Amino acid sequence: MQIKVNGKKEDLSAMLLSAERYALGRQTYIVQWTCEFIANNLHLLSEKDKKVMIRDIKWQEDKGYDKPYGWDCDKEEWMKLLKILESDLKER
């Protein structure tokens, strides 16, 4: 099913960045769902927002939290997304 979304590509990119920032550090189903949605929709992200997501994910480790990414399964999702984002930027 195709859906129509009103707004510019930049708006969608910003919304995906907001979703990433909301989910980062959570310990719920939203982490996997968000990471998968972003990975499956890289074409909606601006190059700048991809770089910001990479920085966010890497910076999460430096916050000094006990479990900066949530549970181990959450960290796996973030590391997978990080690799995907970095790989996508290298290909451009």
Residue 38's domain comprises 9-91
Nearest 10 degrees: CA dihedral of 60, 61, 64, 69?
Answer: 70
| 63 in a structural domain | yes
The domain total for the chain is: 1
Confidence at 77, pLDDT banded by 50, 70, 90: very high
pTM, to two decimals: 0.91
In percent, the amount of the chain with pLDDT more than 90 equals 73
The whole-angstrom separation of Cα 33 and Cα 16 is 12
Residue-wise pLDDT tens digits, 17-28: 999 999 998 998
The whole-angstrom separation of Cα 78 and Cα 91 is 20
If we measure between CA atoms, which residue out of 75, 63, 67, 85 comes closest to residue 17?
85
| 39 in a structural domain | yes
The whole-number average pLDDT for the span 43-65 is 92
The whole-number average pLDDT for the span 62-77 is 89
By three-state DSSP, how is residue 65 classified? coil
